[in-house]
Structure 1
Amino acid sequence: MLKNLFFFLLVGALFCCQAQTKLSDEVIENIKLRIDNGKNPGIVIGIIDQEGTRYHSFGVKSLKTDEPVNEYSIFEIGSISKTFTGILLADMVVKGKLNLEDPLQILLPDGVKAPTRNGVSIKLVHMANHTSSLPRMPDNFNPANPANPYIDYSEKQLYDFLNSYELSRDIGSKYEYSNYAAGLLGHLLAAKNNTTYEELMLSVIANPLKMENTGILLTPEMSKHLATGHRGRIEVENWDLTTLAGAGAIRSSAVDMIKYLAANMGMVKTKLYPAMQLSHKNSRAEGAEPIVGLGWHTQVFDEEEIIWHNGGTGGYRTFAGFTKDGSKGVVVLCNSTTGADDLGRHLLYSKSPLNKIKSSIGAKMLQVIERDGLTAALDTYSELKKSPIDIYDFSENELNDLGYYFLARKELENALAVFKLNIENYPNSSNVYDSYGEAFMEKGNKEKAIENYEKSVAINPGNLNGLDKLKELGVDTNKLVTEIVVDEGILENYVGKYELAPGFILTVTRNEKQLNVQATGQPQFPVFPKSSSVFYYKVVEAQLTFNRNEDDKVESLTLLQGGRTMVGSKIE
């Protein structure tokens, strides 16, 4: 399945850094490994503190041109746009045009009714802090072009979904990250002002802050500086969020985003500062996790509080954050689907660890294939995996990405061989069979494609891509997925906190017959039963197994994701 792809660059790829003396050797080396080992084509970092503003640029705008990125390069900032939406709401509150406690219904047009539950209405604050009980995405979201999925989602679909949706839990009771809610809020705020979301955002935020290269529609100047988005070595389409613009449509540069952070931090005083301060303030009950304002999230470290948001679209990952005391702000922009949130957090709080970057086994195999052929590359993989020297990344995604690199180039035999090798190494992964099935579809081998897609769905019934492909191939998928109902008493035994690593905890909660899981610093997602003890995600290729001890008490869970297994002991 073409998801979570990384690209491959030969070691020694273009590495460019501006003003790198201001970054520690540890950070520079870590970024160099990301570039050289094929994690990111380009990374731009902006830092603002009491010493001033500085930028650090690494890598390229496009693998096809080798033109370096810089602080003026344009990136899709994705869900960081939600903080703009939060500030737009806060600005209207500060001006007395709205109240956070106002019901959503007051902004809706005639004929559209917001759902209620137990006589309680969704309030505007719930829309901005992800507690509205509206889902992450609407069920009528069926893009004609998955490469640009939001472009054809219409206003009619937006309101049709709202009119028909039945809330599954009490409003305000749980945090569930919702692109739909943020997009709807942005759309309604613009409508109240008789304008578009982009025009509202520009007039209230970007123009007053002199963010000259920030917007949704690309101006000629922005197009000139656009850093191309990537999945693997493959360039991808830009995303165009129309109706749901408030959830993630904005494009910007490091220069403009530093202006945005400076205003939020109060380093540059503007008329927007009171609204920005309101958007940072915790809008949830005291002690509720995660801490959320209006769009912005707050992460608490031992000695520091960071206000932040990240973003991701089809070919970009971004991070923006600042210390609560306003002393330092950081933006990190990447033109690939591999993010660098850890870099942003580390630059704000030095005790927050950087991800360990290993050499790409995919890049190594590509190098050997181009020089010595496929057989030699397969032998190299086997030899290096047996080696006691742990310097290569042998994760499932490495081979998956290499296979898609060959698939995009129509080198089907290479693609099939690489995907087959991935199956041999990760036979319990739904994703590897999905990818193998796609390669057989490309080759025209319908029988083999069906065989592998069915194996993929058997491992993970939530693989919607596999189910869709099987339908295209004429398979009756109703026979493949059986709904399993687990007794609520059993589900209740799974509720608790499980520590997979120091500081990294999975919190399992229950809403009637639905289990939900939230990882530290991440949104909450539902999981679905494959059996009474095994559950799978639909939003990501991952599976949880709850483990019992000899006394039949749940003592741990096992997370299987990307071919890797992690066991977390139950601590609460």
Structure 2
Amino acid sequence: MTCNPLLLASLLAASLPAHAMSGGELAAALDKRLRGDRTGACVAAAVIEDGQVSRAFVCADPRARRLDERSALEIGSVTKTMTATLLAQLIGEGKASLDDPLAKYLPPGTRVPEFDGQPIRLRHLVTHTSGLPALPPDMPIADPDDPYAQLAPEALLAALQKTTLGRAPGTQVEYSNYAMMLLSYAVARTAGSDFESALDARLFRPLGMHGAYVRRNPAGVRPAKGHLPNGRVTPAWTIHPELSGVGGVRATLDDMVRYVQAQLGGSGDPALDAAIRMTQAPIPLPDGRPGAMNWMRQPWANGTLYAHEGGTGGFSSLVAFVPEQKRGVVILSDTALTSLGGLGAIAMHLLDPSVPLPPPRKAARAPLELLDALAGEYVLGEALRVKLWHRKGVLYGQAQGQPVFEFGYDDAGDFFPLKLDALLSPRRQADGRYGFVWSQGGGEMTARRVEPAPARAPYAMTPEALQAYVGRYPLMPGFALAVSVRDGRLHVQGTGQAPLPVDPVGKDVFVADAVGAELRFERDASGGVVAVTLVQHGQRLRGERER
């Protein structure tokens, strides 16, 4: 399960639209983003605003009809917010406290690692500050397509015996599915029932989420099939029922609409409402910012944005809402989109239509000069050697000891393996040479060449030529790039950020090695610079120059 922060959410000070989005407008926005997308993804989405709900089911191929009101999709890590709600209910009943050590809720005699006598407390689990790694050490993975299938509570508890903490709990945020599996197990033990029964009795039934489940599929609900971003059907994930609070829930679109409506203003159950408010209450994080119980919490226009994304082997999901505005969004996809940046950009547009909607990624032919520039041997991580080469316009790769894999290419400028959920993003460096970033499973690794390619002659520009780019380029509401010339170099400064030097690598193309960003300027028919596109971490934002 993965959780990606919403695209530039912390930089936005957007104003929400004055009217509720209609179902037709929602469908049109989704169609604009998806039509012809090389993933073939289908999406079920809803916008909730002050009691009104708009729904739409849209696929990249308009002829596809994979999702409808009865389709139940894996919501992945959005489940974690439901686990937090169960914990909040137990706290309200006097059965738990955020300040309690985790060890109190595990079987007697279970060893839980500490750091200099400082224990892992429940508050550390729900803020991802426990110090536990992302996954248990020596986690058994018999099938990479179903990675959690072999993990039972006994193995999870045994893993604690092999786990050490490298820092005190509460001192650093590090996303941990390991921690959330332990919390799921602890909550079920404290509730006195299996985890799915606790969810059903305490959350699903009170909210009318009649299609939501972990393993017990309700009548009339059809499990959707998951897909890799290459369109291939992939198996559903299997998570042990007692550990399923980490990301094991399936739900229909209407189930998730009811869940967001409860977050926005009342379920009719006073105890449940109090628990929901508790999960949203600010909890200080190590950097001083306020967090919440398994919710990402960010300032928003006249309020606070709460959000959580989820991703499994074949699905992506996102829930976001602003209680003060009585507005929220739900997006469920039957395709894993984590390696492509998730669903954050779509959510931002649905929350505020003035935020630009990214275009679909369409299959394209890679430029020969790019293929030539990428060919070579690299090291990923500590020691994994990877070789890239091309033949007849197609890029191929092979990691040491693994089969050869073929890449496709899309018009966003990225390569993707045809049989893996991953992304290879070329990264041009200031010296003109290319490397790449490998994205897979929610993480990124920068490749290092074993033998650097021959350096190219620097692309020189005079200070007078650099003046052509000076100006302000709004990219999103509340966020713009200010371009200036200092000491003979071009500098770019994002709203609220320090200025960064950028270096030319080609005609109208500059790079910032420090942040892995590329700027591509556009000119009009008269030769004047009129716009720029920021390319960074697989995302592309375009802004026109202010006149």
TM-score category, normalised to shorter length: 0.5 to 0.7
The 2-side partners of 1:66 and 1:285 are apart by 44
Pairing 1:404–2:407 present: no
Q: Which residue of 2 aligns with 1:236?
A: 234
Secondary structure of 2:43's match?
strand
The 2-side partners of 1:303 and 1:359 are apart by 37
Q: Which residue of 1 aligns with 2:344?
A: 341
Is the CA contact (8 Å cut-off) linking 2:26 and 2:54 kept in structure 1?
no
Is the CA contact (8 Å cut-off) linking 1:122 and 1:132 kept in structure 2?
yes
**1:490-526, CA deviations, whole angstroms, 9 ceiling, x for partnerless residues?**
xxxxxxxxxxx98999xxxxxxxxxxxxxx9xxxxxx
Secondary structure of 1:152's match?
coil
Q: Is the alpha carbon distance of 1:427 and 1:157 closer, same or farther for their aligned partners in structure 2, counting shifts above 3 Å?
A: farther
Residue 304 (structure 1) shift: 4.1
**1:449-499, CA deviations, whole angstroms, 9 ceiling, x for partnerless residues?**
xxxxxxx98759xxxxxxxxxxxxxxxxxxxxxxxxxxxxxxxxxxxxxxx
Pairing 1:143–2:144 present: no
Is the CA contact (8 Å cut-off) linking 2:435 and 2:447 kept in structure 1?
no
Q: Is the alpha carbon distance of 1:304 and 1:356 closer, same or farther for their aligned partners in structure 2, counting shifts above 3 Å?
A: farther
| 159, 163, 166: which one aligns with 1:165 | 163
Alignment of 1:20-99 (within 5 A): 22=22, 28-29=28-29, 31-59=31-59, 66-99=64-97
Residue 362 (structure 1) shift: 6.9
- Structure 2 alignment gaps of length 5 or more: 5-19, 367-390, 396-408, 428-432, 441-445, 451-474, 481-494, 504-511, 519-533, 538-547
Paired residue type of 1:359: K
Is the CA contact (8 Å cut-off) linking 2:83 and 2:184 kept in structure 1?
yes
Q: Which residue of 1 aligns with 2:516?
A: 559
Is the CA contact (8 Å cut-off) linking 1:130 and 1:181 kept in structure 2?
yes
Q: Which residue of 1 aligns with 2:292?
A: 293
Q: Is the alpha carbon distance of 1:142 and 1:278 closer, same or farther for their aligned partners in structure 2, counting shifts above 3 Å?
A: same
Point out the more displaced range, 316-325 or 298-307: 298-307
Point out the more displaced range, 148-157 or 35-44: 35-44
**1:275-298, CA deviations, whole angstroms, 9 ceiling, x for partnerless residues?**
000001112259624x42111111
Paired residue type of 1:395: G
Q: Is the alpha carbon distance of 1:86 and 1:504 closer, same or farther for their aligned partners in structure 2, counting shifts above 3 Å?
A: farther
Q: Is the alpha carbon distance of 1:308 and 1:125 closer, same or farther for their aligned partners in structure 2, counting shifts above 3 Å?
A: same
Paired residue type of 2:146: N
Pairing 1:357–2:360 present: yes
Q: Is the alpha carbon distance of 1:81 and 1:379 closer, same or farther for their aligned partners in structure 2, counting shifts above 3 Å?
A: closer
Q: TM-score, normalised by structure 1?
A: 0.61
| 194, 197, 206: which one aligns with 1:196 | 194
Residue 160 (structure 1) shift: 1.5
Residue 431 (structure 1) shift: 5.4
The 2-side partners of 1:359 and 1:124 are apart by 45
Q: Which residue of 1 aligns with 2:105?
A: 107
Residue 265 (structure 1) shift: 1.3
Point out the more displaced range, 100-109 or 260-269: 260-269
**1:399-450, CA deviations, whole angstroms, 9 ceiling, x for partnerless residues?**
x34x439x9xxxxxxxxxxx9x99xxx9734759x9xxxxxxxxxxxxxxxx
Q: Which residue of 1 aligns with 2:127?
A: 129
Residue 218 (structure 1) shift: 4.9
Residue 195 (structure 1) shift: 2.1
Paired residue type of 1:355: P
Q: Is the alpha carbon distance of 1:317 and 1:351 closer, same or farther for their aligned partners in structure 2, counting shifts above 3 Å?
A: same
Is the CA contact (8 Å cut-off) linking 1:180 and 1:244 kept in structure 2?
no
**1:319-372, CA deviations, whole angstroms, 9 ceiling, x for partnerless residues?**
011103151121001111123222222222345443343433279xxxxxxxxx
Pairing 1:282–2:282 present: yes
Paired residue type of 2:364: I
Alignment of 1:107-506 (within 5 A): 107-219=105-217, 221=219, 224-242=222-240, 243-271=242-270, 272-285=272-285, 288-289=288-289, 291-325=290-324, 327-338=326-337, 339-361=342-364, 393-397=411-415, 400-401=416-417, 403-404=418-419, 428-429=435-436, 459=449
Is the CA contact (8 Å cut-off) linking 1:74 and 1:222 kept in structure 2?
no
Q: Counting strand residues as a fraction of each chain, which structure ranks higher? A: 2
Q: Which residue of 2 aligns with 1:526?
A: none
Secondary structure of 1:36's match?
coil
Q: Is the alpha carbon distance of 1:118 and 1:547 closer, same or farther for their aligned partners in structure 2, counting shifts above 3 Å?
A: farther
The 1-side partners of 2:365 and 2:146 are apart by 27
Paired residue type of 2:82: F
The 2-side partners of 1:304 and 1:24 are apart by 27
Residue 197 (structure 1) shift: 1.4
Secondary structure of 2:219's match?
helix
Is the CA contact (8 Å cut-off) linking 2:206 and 2:267 kept in structure 1?
no
Residue 194 (structure 1) shift: 3.1
% same residue: 24
Q: Is the alpha carbon distance of 1:267 and 1:155 closer, same or farther for their aligned partners in structure 2, counting shifts above 3 Å?
A: closer
Paired residue type of 1:396: D
Secondary structure of 1:215's match?
coil
The 1-side partners of 2:27 and 2:392 are apart by 33
The 2-side partners of 1:122 and 1:380 are apart by 50
The 2-side partners of 1:328 and 1:307 are apart by 11
Paired residue type of 2:52: G
Secondary structure of 1:404's match?
coil
Q: Is the alpha carbon distance of 1:326 and 1:83 closer, same or farther for their aligned partners in structure 2, counting shifts above 3 Å?
A: farther
Is the CA contact (8 Å cut-off) linking 1:80 and 1:320 kept in structure 2?
yes
Q: Is the alpha carbon distance of 1:459 and 1:24 closer, same or farther for their aligned partners in structure 2, counting shifts above 3 Å?
A: farther
Aligned residues: 399
RMSD (Å) for aligned C-alpha atoms = 4.2
**1:189-240, CA deviations, whole angstroms, 9 ceiling, x for partnerless residues?**
1022332211111111111212111011151636635244333120000011
Q: Is the alpha carbon distance of 1:119 and 1:264 closer, same or farther for their aligned partners in structure 2, counting shifts above 3 Å?
A: same
Paired residue type of 2:327: K
Secondary structure of 1:277's match?
helix
- Structure 1 alignment gaps of length 5 or more: 5-19, 364-376, 382-390, 408-418, 435-455, 461-500, 506-519, 521-545, 550-554, 568-572
Q: Is the alpha carbon distance of 1:262 and 1:337 closer, same or farther for their aligned partners in structure 2, counting shifts above 3 Å?
A: same
Residue 59 (structure 1) shift: 2.0
Residue 184 (structure 1) shift: 0.7
The 2-side partners of 1:362 and 1:58 are apart by 27
Secondary structure of 2:328's match?
strand
Is the CA contact (8 Å cut-off) linking 2:180 and 2:246 kept in structure 1?
yes
